[in-house]
Structure 1
Amino acid sequence: MSNHSLNYSTLPGYFEHDEQPEGPQFRATTLPGFGLIHRRYDTDGDSGHEQTQWERFMHFLNHLNKEASDRARYKLIFVIRHGQGFHNVKEAQVGREDWEAKWALLDGDDEMTWADAKLTETGKSQALEIKATLERDIREMKVPMPVKCYTSPLTRCLETTRLAFSGLEWPTDQPFRPMIKEALRERLGKHTCDRRSTRSWIESNYAEFEIESAFTEQDELWQSDYRETLDEHVMRVRQLLDDIFNNDKNTVISFTAHSGAIRALYALTGHKEVWVAPGAMVPLLVVATPQ
Structure 2
Amino acid sequence: MSALQLNAAAAGAFTLGGDLNVNRLGYGAMRIVGKGVWGPSEDKPAALATLRRAVELGVNLIDTADSYGPHVSEELIAEALHPYPAGLVIATKAGWERVGPGQWIHNASPAHLTKALEGSLKRLRLDRIDVFQLHIPDPAVSFDASMECLAQHREAGKIRHVGLSNVALEYVERARRLVPIVSVQNRYSFADREWDFVVDYCARHDIGFMPWAPLGQVRLASEALDRAARQLNATRMQVGLAWLLKRAKNILPIPGTSNVGHLEENVAAAALQLPDDTFDELSAMSSPHAVLRG
**TM-score, scaled to structure 2:** 0.38
- Structure with higher RCO (Cα < 8 A, 6+ apart): 1
Structure number with bigger Rg: 1
**TM-score, scaled to structure 1:** 0.38
